[in-house]
Chain A
């Protein structure tokens, strides 16, 4: 009997401690936020937050933007709540856009606020808006049916899958900023043109070191990051083959990168071995891609391109002394006794280090050899 009472008591305690009953929300009382944009605040306030919120059916549906200023997320939410008559609900938030200006001052503050929010647990996308105000992207008319935040999210996801953008979210950024490398990558978007001619593009990858935006990697450099991180599958590239004087559109089918780290003469040395398979999807000329010699030319050009892009990324890393390649995880995880020694000088050590990149590739055709032959001839 005592045991039963104890079990009942424990269950009752655990239920009450769950706090659910205090977190109840009526659907009609919450405003679903699909995207938020952060700009630098005015009049002494730290942030200017714009939230893209679901409109009520009475207001003909759709989405509407509300802006409020404040220094904490709670203040900003309260401000928006006062305007919209609904409590902003961030559990369905897809994206956080931070203006370049604010990112250069305090990027980590925004990340930290959202990481701590228990509504989404840091799974939303984060992006830096180059040049323009971040709020502008929440008003961007894309010509499709989805609201602007969803459009921005799809743009970044597509770039991450098929192009140079690195896959990331608030949680990844927060984790990157916590480590000894103290660096994270964030996609950078740019809004070009105005009104109906406005066009939103992913322009590069922002490197956040410490608390602020340090620099922006150009697409070629960002591609180098992806080569080194081994995240190249399903990406599309154009390779110019000088021997054939032709451009080839290729798709990376499989890629694997192996990074080894060691110390040589007291300096760090990283060997990066890239192995990838690709298929040719189009060509500008009429070179026979089944000819062995031609294939050798294409492979050579692809490997050179990969090595070049990887080295571009490494050069930027050395220049900014920012470990956006996450090399600390590779070296210091194997040599934890050296963490103390590199605590404040990891960036310098990376800049002084030496790097070698070796890419090997092979062609992988789709379908049967007969079909391939038919296709290429």
Chain B
């Protein structure tokens, strides 16, 4: 199991029996923190209690009902109750569901900031940590990045506990293990490692656990932070850790021997290891008949190849290898490029940049403005620029095809954009020969990549026949559903 995260060195205070000292410490620690409530209570016997919680992260009704009310209305003497330690209070007085005593002031503070309620009672050198977490959330949303026509529509949310519950609902087995730890010296972000005992290899679990434990950063706000901190090769353009928004995908991956890492505050759950062939797999593949699913997978592979190579191939052909273009097509291209002032490579480069800018602006702008920008972009690029002979119509067509195909393999969009530019530069300088050299380099690089020790190109290189049953082509559903484990 995880150990709790280390002390950050700033808070070294202890909990005192004298409640006034504890109150003083709280005031110092939470100076200028208006959201931290430090409620002082005195029960009918005059025993003092401090209830501390972070406003907005708790369920106030629960605190009033299960913490404050029992204290105020309880008489230690009248009931003949003389508690030896806080355990008695926990067992016989408070009605909250989850209560733990805590002797470490720093840990108590962390719990308070996580949404728990901390109760200091006069005469005790321990505090009670009462689970009262509850904050506004947007419910179970429909995922934005992994849309599916057939299959569950629910997606992960920003609350870690909900996300774990979503997985637990899919896999109702005690073998589904969930280990939690906090990382980020300032943020103390909850990170949960989920795996299915028996399906996953123990070495993989150990490796993920160790890498998570070794994280030493000031803050973690998103699973993307974790991804870059624990992957084998952070310098590569390829993503060697998967991220998913849908519980059914993560559940399937857990059954296939992956480890999931859920980070509080983000709906993106990491899955480890990730193989290159996963780029072409979507969850719907498994919900539809294999023929259509395989057809779509092959289309995705073609789309991937086209989206990274099409601009480069176009530039190479029209700049260096005109003899390879069919004569009538060449005639059309020549007619279209007459009067265009720029070289095809420059034209294409500008088109790619414009596309990336357009995509970025559409992502960042509100939906109402986004559609306006989209229309303006399409009109300017598609109509005005071609009409004014600033850009040739073939370049616009190639760019459009590139972007449509890139949308098909949306999960790899970041690497695609870089590889496309790389191949375009090589094609502009060296023609088809440059593209071949570029492809060779990419392929060699892919073969050297590893995801938590697993070759990234598995099951293609090295070849694993069992794994091929669900790679670029998938076999029958029965065979796939019967199998658990990675390969």
A residues in contact (CB < 8 Å) with B = 11, 14-15, 18, 20-21, 23-28, 30, 32, 34, 54, 56-58, 61, 89, 91-92, 94, 119-120
A20 to B430, CA, bound (A): 5
Q: B433 to A27, Cβ gap below 8 A?
A: no
B338 at the interface (CB under 8 A from A): yes
B322 at the interface (CB under 8 A from A): yes
Instruction: Scan B428-464; emit 1 where CB is below 8 A from any A CB, else 0.
Output: 0111011001000100000000000000000000000
B339 at the interface (CB under 8 A from A): yes
B323 at the interface (CB under 8 A from A): yes
Partner of B322, one of A15, A27, A57, A94: A27
CB-CB under 8 A from A92, the residues of chain B are: 322-323, 325, 327, 330
B319 at the interface (CB under 8 A from A): yes
Given contacts A15-B429, A92-B330, A119-B323, contact A28 B340 (CB under 8 A): yes
A289 to B337, CA, bound (A): 61
Q: Is the interface of B mostly helix, strand, loop or mixed?
A: helix
Given contacts A27-B333, A57-B338, contact A15 B320 (CB under 8 A): no
Given contacts A32-B327, A92-B330, contact A18 B322 (CB under 8 A): no
Instruction: Scan B215-252; emit 1 where CB is below 8 A from any A CB, else 0.
Output: 00000000000000000000000000000000000000
B334 at the interface (CB under 8 A from A): yes
Closest B residue by C-beta to A54: B331
Q: B430 to A26, Cβ gap below 8 A?
A: no
Please tell me the size bucket of the interface on B.
20 to 34
Q: A27 to B431, Cβ gap below 8 A?
A: no
Q: A15 to B433, Cβ gap below 8 A?
A: yes
A96 to B340, CA, bound (A): 32
A21 to B320, CA, bound (A): 8
CB-CB under 8 A from A11, the residues of chain B are: 437, 441
Q: A27 to B344, Cβ gap below 8 A?
A: yes
Given contacts A57-B338, A61-B335, contact A15 B434 (CB under 8 A): yes
Q: A120 to B323, Cβ gap below 8 A?
A: yes
B192 at the interface (CB under 8 A from A): no
Beyond A27-B318, A30-B322, list 19 extra A-B contacts (CB 8 Å).
A14-B437, A18-B433, A18-B434, A20-B429, A21-B430, A26-B344, A27-B322, A27-B333, A27-B334, A27-B337, A28-B339, A32-B330, A32-B331, A32-B334, A34-B327, A57-B335, A57-B338, A91-B322, A92-B323
B343 at the interface (CB under 8 A from A): yes
By CB atoms of chain A within 10 A, which of B327, B343, B429, B434 has the most?
B327
CB-CB under 8 A from A32, the residues of chain B are: 322, 327, 330-331, 334
Q: A23 to B320, Cβ gap below 8 A?
A: yes
A366 to B322, CA, bound (A): 44
Given contacts A34-B327, A54-B331, A57-B338, contact A25 B433 (CB under 8 A): no
Partner of A28, one of B323, B327, B334, B429: B334
CB-CB under 8 A from B330, the residues of chain A are: 27, 32, 92
Task: List the 9 closest A-B pairs by CB distance, nearest first.
Answer: A91-B323, A20-B431, A20-B430, A27-B337, A57-B335, A18-B433, A92-B327, A27-B334, A24-B319
Q: A89 to B322, Cβ gap below 8 A?
A: yes
Distance (whole angstroms) from the CB of A271 to the closest CB of chain B: 44
Closest A residue by C-beta to B325: A92
CB-CB under 8 A from B429, the residues of chain A are: 15, 20-21
What are 21 A-to-B residue pairs whose CB atoms are below 8 Å? A11-B441, A15-B429, A18-B431, A18-B434, A20-B320, A20-B433, A20-B434, A21-B430, A25-B319, A27-B334, A27-B337, A27-B344, A28-B334, A30-B322, A30-B334, A32-B330, A32-B331, A56-B338, A92-B325, A92-B330, A120-B323
A35 to B369, CA, bound (A): 55
Q: B334 to A15, Cβ gap below 8 A?
A: no
Distance (whole angstroms) from the CB of A91 to the closest CB of chain B: 3
